[in-house]
Amino acid sequence: MRRPRFTVRVRLTLLYTVLFAACGTALIAITYGLLAANLPGIDDLAAGDNGRVSTPVDGRRDVPPAEFIEACKRILNGEPAADYNQRVKCQKAYEEGIIVGARTQRDATLDSLLWQSGLSLGATTLLAAVAGWFVAGRVLRPVHRLTAAARAASEHNLSARVALGGPRDELRELADTFDRMLDRLQRSFDGQRQFIANASHELRTPLTVMRASVDVVLAKPHATEAELLRMARDVRTAVDQAQTLIEALLTLARNDRGLVVSEPTDLATVAEDVLDGTDLRDRRARVSLDPAPTTGDPVLLERLTANLVDNAVRYNVAGGEVRLATSVADGHVRLEVSNHGPVVAAEAVGALFQPFRRLHDRMGTDGFGLGLAIVASIAQVHGGTVVAAPIPEGGLHVTVTLPGAASPGPSPA
């Protein structure tokens, strides 16, 4: 048999009720003890002169007969007694009556306090249970709103928000955190959908070129060798573009899983190797490569450097300059790449690190707009940052900052 499951509201109500009953019981016990301690005790009332306890002369505590009571009343009211022993007996009987009455009154007072307090505690405990039920419901109302927002949220609809008002307590902080989480998820899903749309568009372009080239040749009954070679070159170019795009997308997807390989790497050596393998065309290189030891994935770091150098060469002016430098500062290594080129607006720099973003028409033939996005992704997965700043006379200066070899590197995913 399964045990019954109580809701949080029921458990809170039971908790309030038990705590109230326990506190009420403790209060009654304290009050009872204090009253019992302050009421006159039997020994105090029975104490006679010189601390002697008075008792009946004959040693009996049963009620005297009616004639004896009437005689004692007259003696105590001032009438002369028949003999001295009779007066002493009456005095002792009077004291014994006081003791019995006080004891009866004390017991009745304590019993009345106990019963009335118990009944009052029972009634107020029931009221506390009812009040606790409503209070628990009011306290849990924000939790119900969180639950409703979580149920309404989905991949296609993340617009639901709790927007909890009231005092800034723990529940308000929880609701605000939940809303911020939904904001991040919504931005992430929107970016993912935009990324998929852009990737599909970019992949469609080389496929369209290949299909058009093949269709043109197939439409001719007798294609010449030159036409077939031209088609082959067009298809090869489109395949290369598609392969480049797929490799870039795979790099971004790999970075989303976190850093898998982490080993000591000199960023200066990586930059020198990249520079040796890059066709600078008619650009001039100004190099300042100081040792820059770091820890990370050498393949990804080489890809980061290659993308920066490739952009510096591609978006340059004829006969322009490419500057490449590595250094160490404050326990971090820096890779700086800058170039001459067209003037870049300061407000357009941040968009360059977004996937498929270019400064001009995204249908151009100068790449897919993934170079700097990959740079930012690689820097982030290595626990570093990348910052770009426009050069006033034209061009762009990009600075990548990574943890040094002595600094704790990012943990693998």
The model's pLDDT over 275-284, given as tens digits with 9 standing for 90+, comes to: 988 888 889 9
The model's pLDDT over 293-305, given as tens digits with 9 standing for 90+, comes to: 999 888 888 888 9
Separation of alpha carbons 217 and 293, rounded Å: 54
| CB of 125 closer than 8 Å to CB of 17 | yes
State the total domains in the chain.
3
Q: Is 152 within the bounds of a domain?
A: no
The model's pLDDT over 25-54, given as tens digits with 9 standing for 90+, comes to: 999 899 888 888 877 655 555 554 444 444
Are 387 and 282 within one domain? yes
| CB of 213 closer than 8 Å to CB of 231 | yes
Residue 255 has pLDDT above 70, yes or no: no
Are 358 and 320 within one domain? yes
| CB of 289 closer than 8 Å to CB of 402 | no
Output 108 or 358, whichever has higher pLDDT: 108
Are 288 and 228 within one domain? no
| CB of 93 closer than 8 Å to CB of 72 | yes
Q: Is 161 within the bounds of a domain?
A: no
Spatial CA neighbour of 118 closest among 247, 235, 27? 27
Q: Is 162 within the bounds of a domain?
A: no
Q: Is 65 within the bounds of a domain?
A: yes
Are 245 and 326 within one domain? no
The continuous run of DSSP H or E covering 130 comes out as: helix 84-139
Are 314 and 356 within one domain? yes
Spatial CA neighbour of 325 closest among 292, 301, 302, 349? 292
CATH number of the domain that 278 lies in?
Answer: 3.30.565.10
Are 67 and 192 within one domain? no
Q: Which range of residues forms the domain containing residue 191?
A: 170-254
20: its two tokens: 């109230």
Please report which confidence band the pLDDT of residue 59 belongs to, taking 50, 70 and 90 as the band edges. Answer: very low
Separation of alpha carbons 120 and 114, rounded Å: 10
Q: Is 160 within the bounds of a domain?
A: no
Residue 408 has pLDDT above 50, yes or no: no
Q: Is 153 within the bounds of a domain?
A: no
Q: Is 154 within the bounds of a domain?
A: no
pTM recorded for the entire structure: 0.51
| CB of 408 closer than 8 Å to CB of 283 | no
Q: Is 309 within the bounds of a domain?
A: yes
Give the rounded percent of residues in the chain with a pLDDT score beyond 90.
17
Q: Helix 371-381 to helix 225-256 angle, to the nearest 10 degrees?
A: 30
246: its two tokens: 């797929």
| CB of 9 closer than 8 Å to CB of 147 | no
